Every structure is written in C-alpha cells, then in structure tokens.
Amino acid sequence: MSQPPAGPPLLTRPPGQQVAPRTSGRGGWAALAPALALPVVMVVVLVAVLGIGRPSRDEELAGAGDPYHPSYGASGYDAQHYLIDVTVDGTTVGGVTEMTARATRELAEIHVDLALPVSAAWVDGEEADVETWPEHDVEITPDRPVAEGRTFVVRIAYAGDPLEVAPVRGVRTPWYRQGDEQGAAGQPESSAWWFPANDHPSDPALMESKIRVRAGTQAVSTGALVSRDIGTEADWDTWHWRASQPMATYLNFVVVGRYRLEAGQVAGRPYVYAVSEALPPDQQQRLLAELAETPQWVAALEEHLGPYPFTEMGGVVPAFPFWFGGLETQTRPVYHVRSLDDRDFADTLLVHELAHMWFGDHVTLERWDDIFVNEAWASYLEWVVAEDEGGRTAQQELQRHYDGLAGRADFWRVRMDDPGAEQLFATVYERGPMALQALRNVMGEAEFTTLMREWAQRGGTASLEDFVAEARSRTDADLDPWYDAWISGTTAPPRTAAVGLG
C-alpha cells in the first residue's frame, strides 16, 4: 500500500470494521410470524443484539490470534483453496463460495469472516447450522465434528448490499460504489465484503473467482483471465479469474463496471490492464500508458530481487477514489486515479506497488504488527530503483529523511516492532526504508544485497522477528544497536556507525 501524493495525510489505518449480529440457525428471523406478541419480540431482540441466551462459541477458534485485530480470521484449520462464485447486480452482491481446508485440530465449529447475510451453509455436502456473531464472524456447526488432519469443504450461500454493512467507530468501508461502478479493495480487510474466508494474512490460499455481471460490464480480479464469459445467459457475462499462487485474503479484489481492457504478453508473461471508462478518454489513454510501464519496472526490480514471483501482472484504475494511493492486490495492483495520473508520482507509485509483489504478496506478513516486512521493503525499493535511474542514492535519502525527522519526537515514538493498530500505516513508509539503509551500512554491501535478494525469494508468511533473525544469521556484525535504535527505539537514533549513521 502507498499513500496518495497530495491532500491531507493519511497516516492511520481505518479502524476495524464490524457488523451487528444478525440471524442464527438454518431458518433465520424469517421464521418468526409478524403477529408475535411484543414481549416475545423484545426477548428476540435481546437475544440477537446482546447475545442473551445464545449458545457460546469457542473464542480460540473465532480469531487468528492477531494482537491488533483479535477477531480477524479463524483458527483450527488451514485454508487451501477458495472458489468464489458471485453475482454483482445493482446494489446486491451474492452467491456461493466454496472453501477447501484441512483441519489442524478437531473442529466442532468452523469460523469464517463475512459481512453479508448468510442464507445457508454446508460442510462436505451436508447442511450445517449457522450462527452470526459481531465483527462479521460466522460460525458454522456441522452435524459431526471434523476430525483433525481431515480435508473438508465448506460451502456458504449469502447475499446483500456491502454498503449496508453498518460501520462502527467511524470506519471506512472497503466497498466502493460510484455510478454503475463498484468493487472491494482495502487493507487490513476487504474480502469479508464479497466472499467468506479465513480473513487473516497468516493463512494464504489459492483463489478462483467467477463473477457474474450484466452483459457489457467488465469484472476484474486477480490472477489469470481464464474466460470472459463462461455462462450461457444472453443478458449476463461471467468473468473467470484464477490465481496460480497462494495469496492472503486481503490481496484479492474485485471491481465491476465498464472498463477499457488491454491484454497481451511481454516476454511470455501475460498482462491485463484495466482503466475505468467513466474517466475522460484522454485520461484513460494516459493511465493505460502508465500501466504499460509495468514490465519495465518489474525488470528493474528483478535486478535486485531476483525473478518476479508470479505468472501474471497488470494493474487497475477505477474511477472511484480510495483513501490510499495504491494497493498491492496480487498480480494486479489497484491504483488511485489521481495518484497514477500525477506525472511526478506515477513512477514511484508503480515501483512501490510492484515491489510489493515480492514484499507483501510473495512474502506476506504473519500478523498485522509485522507491517514492516511489507511496507519498509516496498518503500526502500523506491530509493534503490530511483538511484538506478540517476536520482539520489539510497544513502542520500537516508541522510535527507533523517535530517528532516530527527527533531520530530512524535515520529520516533512509533516503534517498528509494535506500531499499534492506529499507527499501522504511519511512520513505516519513512522509518522503514531508513532502517533498511542503515542495516545495509552496518552489514556491508555484499551481505545486505544477498539478504535482500534471498528474503524476497523465500515466499510464505514471515514476521519481523523472522527477518531480523535472518539478518543476524548472515553477518558477524553486532545488530543489537541497530535493532534498538531503528526497530524498538522510541527516540531518534544517534549519529553513530553502530546504528548505520556514522
């Protein structure tokens, strides 16, 4: 993720989102007759809203254990594949998503994250009970527990208007709608607004999306475009996208509307670029020209990071504005129209989001307090590539940023190993790359270059602690002063060689 180039600073993430508790059981509230007496209705309301008399849930299974977002995700299973089959029509998003997973313990209940109303669920083909809890947690109870080690399939039917999901604590919704165009993209959450999943980065999985829309409308997502119309309906088109490599749920996205698409291959690698036709034609052309620079920036990054980790590439520019400048949706970043159309910022934005294909997508943060392994590296590669292009060196950038920020006590109070949920997307964009260039100074050029390349190629989930341990294993230099100053410190690092500022 990157910040827009102008306007008010966006230094904090949107607060966590949740929905009010809805229905429970197979029948739902529709089974209640309208003529129920008032006292009975009051009891029902108390049960639904306050949880009085509701069955308890296994709190350990209801979240992934994230310190900042304990309700996000689920435990007890490893998701392996999602087949998302949805229709987007007007204000309604609905369909059936199938999740294949392996139980890592016996499961009497299975939890997923979904903000839309659920109508039914099945486990291995048998209908299961459904209970919906706050913060878009859906509990699915099969007739028989799923045994540890067993692979199982959950199918969930759902439908609703994503913009009717009640925000809390003044949050921004990850679902956007402007005219006939709409879609979901966001961080740290977005999938719950259009498909059920274990919505936590610790559980990447393969994903396949079949998105049914009105004929003449485009639906764009991640991965390879398998087919533009796999349906047989005259008035509908179904767009089929398939990701060949696992991804965290927040890295998937969907946009629906009238888009100008360009598709082809560069050096044997397929690409799809998409720009909203709601934008003026001359602006569409400029934006497509910017997106067409993707292969050259991927090649520039490969010089430092090794082979591009995915089989497809591309980019998408919707007409509706986001709160961020760009988002590293896997294989096909989503760009803010104003940010990518800014001649002074577009190249930096492209490099940042494409660097995320290695740092953030191929190597995915394990928990949200590990944001350093995503954003510090993507921001640092901006400096590295700019140096290649004849701009300031990464060392000059370190000195420039340090000189400008050394006296900002508020800036240094945000630690890199524990920034806090409300400062997740704040200082990491500047302190992160400074810390990495300082580490380069402490380790030395050869050791740091090898570390950067091999870390970028490792794949899977990783924590900040994993990265620091890897760095320590590759050098004889004492990294304790660097760590204390740049990662866990709450004051400006001293100007000493021991911390990479000598």
Question: Is the predicted pLDDT of residue 400 greater than 70, yes or no?
Answer: yes
Q: Are residues 66 and 92 in the same domain?
A: yes
Q: What are the tens digits of pLDDT across the range 297-347?
A: 999 999 999 999 999 999 999 999 888 899 999 999 999 999 999 999 999
Average pLDDT over residues 55-83: 90
Tell me whether residue 100 is in a domain: yes
Q: Are residues 306 and 400 in the same domain?
A: no
Indicate if 388 and 271 belong to the same structural domain.
no
* Same domain (yes/no): 339, 430: no
Domain membership flag for residue 317: yes
At 171, is the pLDDT very low, low, confident or very high (cuts 50, 70, 90)?
low
When pLDDT is cut at 50, 70 and 90, the band that residue 34 belongs to is very low
Assess if residue 308 is contained within a domain.
yes
Residue 277 sits in the same domain as residue 173: yes
Domain boundary among 357, 382, 413: 357
Q: How far apart are CA 194 and CA 29, in angstroms?
A: 22
Of the chain, the percentage scoring pLDDT greater than 70 comes to 87
CB atoms within 10 A of CB 299: 12
pLDDT interval class at 3 (50, 70, 90): low
Three-state DSSP at 260 gives strand
Kindly tell me if the per-residue pLDDT of 41 is higher than 90.
Answer: no
pTM of the predicted structure, to 2 decimals: 0.88
| Residue 322, pLDDT score | 86
Nearest to 239 by CA among 226, 258, 257: 226
Flag whether pLDDT at 153 surpasses 70.
yes
pLDDT for residue 185 = 95
Task: List the domain range (segments joined by +) for residue 445.
Answer: 365-499
Higher-pLDDT residue of 20 and 443 is 443
Q: What is the mean pLDDT of the chain?
A: 89
Pair (295, 382) in one structural domain: no
Q: What is the DSSP letter of 417?
A: S
Whether 13 maps to a domain, the answer reads no
- Res 39 pLDDT > 50: no
Lowest-pLDDT choice from 10-24, 54-68, 299-313: 10-24
The CATH number covering residue 191 comes to: 2.60.40.1730
Q: How far is C-alpha 120 from the geometric centre of its chain's CA atoms?
A: 27
Per the structure, the count of domains in the chain is 2
- Is there a single domain that holds both residue 388 and residue 309? no
For residues 229 and 302, state if they share a domain: yes
Question: Which residues are CB-contacts of 288 (< 8 A; sequence separation ≥ 6)?
Answer: 260, 262, 273, 275
Domain identity same for 222 and 332: yes
